[in-house]
Amino acid sequence: DDSNVRLWTTKTEQCECIGLLEGHEDYITSVLIEENFVLSSSADKTIRKWDMSTCECILVYLGHESTVNKMISTGDFLFSVSYDKKARCWDFDTGECIRVFKGHKNNVTSIIFIPSDKENMSDTLQFIKSQAERKNQFSNGKKLHNLPSNEMNDEDDIYSKDLIITGSLDSLAKSWSIETGECVQTFKGHTSAITCLATDPLGKILFTGSGDHTIRSWEIMTGQPLKTFNGHQTTVLTLLAHRKLLYSTSSDHTARCWVMDFGDCTRVYKEHEHSVSCLVENNGFVYTGCGDSNARCFDAKSGALKRTFKGHTGAINCLRLVDERLYTGSFDGTLRIFDASDLLLDKTNAKKEKKIDSESNQIEQQDFQNHEVIEVKEREY
């Protein structure tokens, strides 16, 4: 809420703030790291690009008319969604708005990118980039989708392969052609807001979570509905696809594991005392962040609670596992770092021994409070 972004080092014994990124005029909604840059979106309607080494703002992306909710980056391009009911495509280097995706009737809450080539920048992005670099050959204000048709190579089938997909409070998800800015498919079936999106590893199946308590799957290219995943009792908050499994969290105090192909719920992760707001999967464990101020670790297969990470005094709204450390962010204004290395070690030893003795189980299930704390509110700069 202080409208700032802070950079921290975890290499020292005590976590230290090594940079303060000041410039936004309202609260920060999301942060993205791309190479040596930090990008931040805000309720002040802007996105800012910062040099990580100097902490200087080097670019402001202007165009949205309301709060910017989320961002994704392809390296050359930045995509964002907003409460202004629009998504936008920006040139990452110049900040120029290249494309505006219009069609939703309410706030746009989520976005994902579907490339034609998982390893390389897609043909469409290459095309847009080349046209952006030659934009001075055309009259001012001329949009890329008005370029002569002979600039396009129909054989590349660009229109059907390179997409972004957005979800909105209007209960619809939409796929968009990056090259033309036109809506390709509308995924209609939910009866309440779309809250989250995910795709299968091949980028062919779309999963949508909603306030109507359900998850739905769709064929991306045709818009054909496939399955409805029933089980959650209230709003689905997040989705995570991992191999052939789909993980979800909900305000019904649970997280769930589903089989993508069949829609069967194979595991329910309980023990939460409030909404489950975020989830990550790593090496056979599921980590959740909850509104009860605790993070938890579950065995992905059995659903058994392995550890509770305590310390926050407010709801946890984000978490990330990096280098055997669990990072949790909370509405209490702090970022906490927990050591999760022994969990992974215990998992490895268990596989070798093919059993876990009762003493080991007792250690794993105790509340875990040995961690570092980054107190955002209590430090002065």
Gap between the Cα atoms of 104 and 278, Å rounded: 26
Check if the beta carbon of residue 240 is closer than 8 Å to that of residue 279. Answer: yes
Does one domain contain both 249 and 316?
no
Residues near 270 by Cβ (< 8 Å), separated by ≥ 6? 253, 254, 303, 305
Task: Tell me the per-residue pLDDT of 285-305, one tens digit each, with 9 for 90 and over.
Answer: 999 999 999 999 999 999 999
- Alpha-carbon distance 330 to 46, whole Å? 23
* Domain identity same for 23 and 47: yes
How far is 217 from 238, CA to CA, in rounded Å?
14
Last residue in a domain, options 274, 291, 316: 274
Residues 9 and 136 in one domain: yes
With a cut of 80, say whether residue 3 has pLDDT above it.
Answer: no
> How much is the pLDDT for 223?
95
* Backbone φ, ψ for residue 98 (5° rounding): -90, -30
pLDDT of residue 61: 98
Residues 223 and 322 in one domain: no
Query: Alpha-carbon distance 222 to 205, whole Å?
Result: 10
The verdict on 214 and 286 lying in the same domain is: no
Boundary of a domain, candidates 218, 250, 274: 274
> Is pLDDT above 50 for 272?
yes
275 versus 340: the higher-pLDDT residue is: 275
Q: Using one digit for the tens of pLDDT, what is the confidence trace for 67-95?
A: 999 999 998 999 999 999 999 999 999 99
Domain count, the chain: 2
Task: Indicate whether 295 and 250 sit together in one domain.
Answer: no
Q: Are residues 297 and 238 in the same domain?
A: no
pLDDT digits over 206-246, tens only?
999 999 999 999 999 999 999 999 999 999 999 999 999 99
- The neighbour count for residue 301, using CB atoms within 10 Å, is 12
Q: Which residue has the tokens 């579907």?
A: 114
pLDDT at 363 over 50: no
For residues 221-254, b (16+ Cβ closer than 10 Å) or e, as one string?
A: bebeeebebebbeebbbbbbbbeeebbbbbbbbb
Token digits of residue 374: 């980054």
CATH number for 346: 2.130.10.10
The residue whose two tokens read 């202004």 is 84
Full residue range of the structural domain in which residue 151 is found: 5-274
Q: Are residues 125 and 202 in the same domain?
A: yes
Do 243 and 373 lie in a common domain?
A: no
Residues 244 and 373 in one domain: no
Instruction: For residues 332 and 262, state if they share a domain.
Output: no
What pLDDT is recorded for position 325?
84
Does residue 129 sit in the same domain as residue 88?
yes
**pLDDT for the residue numbered 8:** 73
